[in-house]
Amino acid sequence: AQSVTQPDIHITVSEGASLELRCNYSYGATPYLFWYVQSPGQGLQLLLKYFSGDTLVQGIKGFEAEFKRSQSSFNLRKPSVHWSDAAEYFCAVMTTDSWGKLQFGAGTQVVVTP
Amino acid sequence: DGGITQSPKYLFRKEGQNVTLSCEQNLNHDAMYWYRQDPGQGLRLIYYSQIVNDFQKGDIAEGYSVSREKKESFPLTVTSAQKNPTAFYLCASMPDRNTGELFFGEGSRLTVL
């Protein structure tokens, strides 16, 4: 079955430390991959996306993600987190079988401590 | 400013009542979507519409209905047939289905008492 898995429900990180959020997918067709961020009580905002080309993609707010086809992963990273990065992060996948329809993971809640 | 407006932000209803959530966009996007968000489950697609006067069921359409009479508007009705309607509902639009980039409203929180 097609799926998007975010193994970590909740991550706590100190301000200034690095952050890595994991995302794994299981799709037969070529995946197009996304990371979105949601602040409490708000809608989601696109951080970055991967369609093709360089497997390391840069996004907004200092985030980057790396696509690893061999591992079916698209992990999100930030070298140094700020208190404003506290939010929920969602990985999403679109495939050629489902143009215009995104499948979302369950999300990872990030807490930033002083 | 262009964007997506959802209303109301908070809504309380008694069990058995139908409820309509409004979604309006002035981004001139063709495609619009309704997602339901529950804690620990991410976003699940209820309905989507890629063009006016046409819409398709998503993964959890049972108990919901939509209409798309105008490009700008995509209201969602939560009917009494929806067994567990209390949730956070998000409306989104996409400028081009090839981009995959969704633009979201701020959501409507529905609580059924």
- The model's pLDDT over B8-28, given as tens digits with 9 standing for 90+, comes to 999 999 988 999 999 999 999
Closest residue of chain A to B31, computed from CA coordinates:
A100
Q: Residues with Cβ < 8 Å from B23, sequence gap 6 or more?
A: B4, B5, B6, B32, B34, B73, B74, B75, B76, B91, B105
Mean pLDDT of all residues in A24-37: 88
Whether B54 contacts chain A with CB within 8 A? no
Closest residue of chain A to B103, computed from CA coordinates:
A45
Closest residue of chain A to B40, computed from CA coordinates:
A106
Whether A50 contacts chain B with CB within 8 A? no
- CB nearest to B100's CB, from A4, A49, A105: A49
Question: For residue A1, what pLDDT band results from cuts at 50, 70 and 90?
Answer: low
Residue with token string 């991959």: A33
Are the beta carbons of B94 and B35 closer than 8 angstroms?
no
Provide the 10 A C-beta neighbour count for residue A28: 9
Task: Tell me phi and psi for residue B107, to 5 degrees.
Answer: 95, 160
So what's the pLDDT on residue A95? 82
Mean pLDDT of all residues in A43-67: 94
A105:B42 CB<8 A: yes
A43:B4 CB<8 A: yes
Alpha-carbon distances of B66 from B27, B47, B48, B63, B101, rounded to whole Å:
20, 7, 9, 11, 22
| Cα–Cα dist A86/A21, whole Å | 13
| Cα–Cα dist B50/B30, whole Å | 6
B102:A46 CB<8 A: yes
| Cα–Cα dist A57/B94, whole Å | 21
Written as one letter, the residue type at B7 is: S
Dump pLDDT digits (tens) for B64-108: 999 999 999 999 999 988 889 999 999 999 988 777 889 999 999
Dump pLDDT digits (tens) for A70-97: 999 999 999 999 999 999 999 999 887 7
Residue with token string 């939560």: B78
Using alpha carbons, select from A98, A42, A24 the residue that is nearest to residue B59: A98
Q: Is B63 left (phi over 0), alpha (psi -120 to 50) or beta?
A: left
Nearest-neighbour CA in chain B from A35: distance (Å): 10
Question: For residue B40, what pLDDT band results from cuts at 50, 70 and 90?
Answer: confident
Are the beta carbons of B91 and B27 closer than 8 angstroms?
no
Written as one letter, the residue type at A74 is: F
